[in-house]
Amino acid sequence: MTVQPSLPLTADAGGFVEQLAAQSASFDAVLVAEMPGGAVTLSPLAMAVLLKRRGIEAIVQVSGRDRNRLALQSDLLGMGALGIANLLVDMRPVTRASLLQNADARLVTDLDGAALLAMALRMRDEASFTSGARIKTPPALYTGALLSLAGRVDLKALNGAQFIVTEPVHDVRAFAATLAAFQSEQPAFLQARPLLVSLPLLTAAGGAQPAAIEQLASSIEALRTLDSIRGFNIVVESVEALPLLGQSVGGFIRGTRPMSS
């Protein structure tokens, strides 16, 4: 089980990290998303460092939407220097529609998801930058891919992905049908790669709504027995929802099969 909280809009994240640390027994890692919806948040790499200091595993999401290859390679090298291995590459198309909160920002289109994943693998496996310059000590990365299983999936581009995370699933029945169709067409793909299904937990100002918790538990119950699913990534709007999340579904999720890194 991983959790994906909305990152704080502040340079002082101490209280946020402590709230996560207090509930860390109810999840295995924190997925740190990169500026979802085009909203400026605390740097995912900075948050991963703060989490690491508190003994919390972090998964750093990166996208080619906001930076060019120079900045991205610098960050991946930084991950290696900081001992942060879990990298999740956003494979979804880079579009202006994803810049909801900063629609007038320049859209960076230097690398799409496939090129970004290939670049990370080149840095890790070939100790080389895209320029051809050599890396003395390459970053040790456990590479994943964030994507939608609906529609056409470029399996060649995903060959180097070691785990898969879905975009948030709102219609469980439709997703189950999509997953079944994908497995029918590509039976070996998910056997070699752990699949985490992202599920949203809608919250109110005072924390998680009971109905939202019930809906989340119902979604997990419907999906957890599917053979290819190894776990769930719970997208929460507020860290205040984590205590109730852990009490209600934390142990329930533990029945799923573990990932292996």
Q: Per the domain annotation, does 261 fall within a domain?
A: no
Backbone φ and ψ for 196, nearest 5 degrees, come out as -105, 130
Where does the pLDDT of residue 261 fall: very low under 50, low under 70, confident under 90, or very high at 90 and above?
A: very low
Q: Per the domain annotation, does 221 fall within a domain?
A: yes
Burial 229-250 (b: 16+ CB within 10 A, else e): bbbbbbbbebbbbbbbbbebbb
Q: Which domain holds residue 78?
A: 2-253
Residue 62 clears pLDDT 90, i.e. is over it: yes
Q: Per the domain annotation, does 176 fall within a domain?
A: yes
- The span from the CA of 66 to the CA of 64, in Å, is 6
Q: Per the domain annotation, does 123 fall within a domain?
A: yes
Decide if 3 contacts 236 (C-beta within 8 A). yes
Query: Mean pLDDT: which of 22-26, 33-37, 202-206 is highest?
Result: 22-26
Q: Per the domain annotation, does 152 fall within a domain?
A: yes
pLDDT digits (tens, 9 = 90+) for 225-247: 898 899 999 998 878 778 777 66
- The span from the CA of 32 to the CA of 168, in Å, is 14
Q: Count of domains in the chain?
A: 1
Q: Per the domain annotation, does 258 fall within a domain?
A: no
Residue 108 confidence (pLDDT) = 76
pLDDT digits (tens, 9 = 90+) for 41-50: 788 999 999 9
Where does the pLDDT of residue 248 fall: very low under 50, low under 70, confident under 90, or very high at 90 and above?
A: low
Q: Which residue has the tokens 């207090």?
A: 22
Query: Mean pLDDT: which of 9-18, 27-36, 91-100, 138-147 is highest?
Result: 138-147
The arithmetic mean of pLDDT across residues 170-182, rounded, is 94
Q: Which of 115-124, 155-164, 186-195, 237-246 has the lowest mean pLDDT?
A: 237-246
Higher pLDDT, 123 or 216: 123
Q: Per the domain annotation, does 260 fall within a domain?
A: no
Residue 94 clears pLDDT 80, i.e. is over it: no
The arithmetic mean of pLDDT across residues 172-191, rounded, is 92
Domain containing residue 18: CATH number: 3.20.20.220
Angle formed by the axes of helices 44-53 and 69-82, nearest 10°: 0
